[in-house]
């Protein structure tokens, strides 16, 4: 854990937050500055900076994050209407917290990308 990582502090209960889901791989919270009606963050328990450090050994972590996102989309009632999953990679890609996390966005019609 990086001592100043906000996500690690939330994971460890040092910063209060409503944990919507927690398992051996990851936990889920609501984004504090939502960009959609539903905007969740799926955060691996392991302090992991960004996708550039990904190896085949991280396959269980990434698949666990996607499975948690799928479950949370269903729980939030956006699984049928549709939702977007986004990883922001690095500062130019919009990553604001240096701990890998997956955004789950939905609850309204989202603009097409590209």
Tokens 């791989």 belong to 25
Q: What is the pLDDT of residue 30?
A: 98
Annotated catalytic, 101? yes
Question: In this structure, are residues 88 and 94 in contact, taking their beta carbons and an 8 Å threshold?
Answer: yes
Phi-psi sector, 105: left (phi>0), alpha (psi -120 to 50), beta: beta
DSSP category for residue 91:
G
> Quick one: CA dihedral 55, 102, 4, 45, positive or negative?
negative
**Catalytic residue (one of 39, 99, 101, 103):** 101
pLDDT score for 2: 64
- Secondary structure element (H or E) that encloses residue 56, with its range: none
Domains of the chain by residue range? 6-106
Q: What is the pLDDT of residue 112?
A: 86
Class of domain 6-106: alpha beta
What residue ranges of the chain have pLDDT lower than 70?
A: 1-2
Residue 42: closest CA among 13, 75, 14, 20: 20
pLDDT of residue 65: 98
The model carries a pTM of 0.95
**What is the arrangement of strands in the sheet containing 102-106, beginning at the earlier edge strand?**
21-22, 26-30, 38-44, 102-106, 83-87
């Amino acid at each position: 854990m990086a001592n100043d990582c906000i996500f690690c502090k939330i994971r460890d209960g040092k910063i209060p937050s409503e944990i919507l889901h927690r398992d051996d791989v990851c936990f889920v919270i609501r984004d504090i500055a939502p960009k959609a009606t539903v905007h969740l963050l799926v955060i691996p328990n392991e302090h992991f900076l960004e996708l550039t450090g990904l190896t085949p050994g991280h396959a269980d972590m990434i698949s666990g994050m996607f499975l948690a996102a799928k479950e949370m989309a269903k729980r939030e009632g956006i699984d049928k209407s549709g939702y977007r999953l986004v990883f922001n990679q690095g500062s130019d890609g919009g990553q604001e917290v240096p701990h890998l996390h997956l955004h789950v966005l939905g609850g309204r019609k989202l603009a097409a990308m590209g």
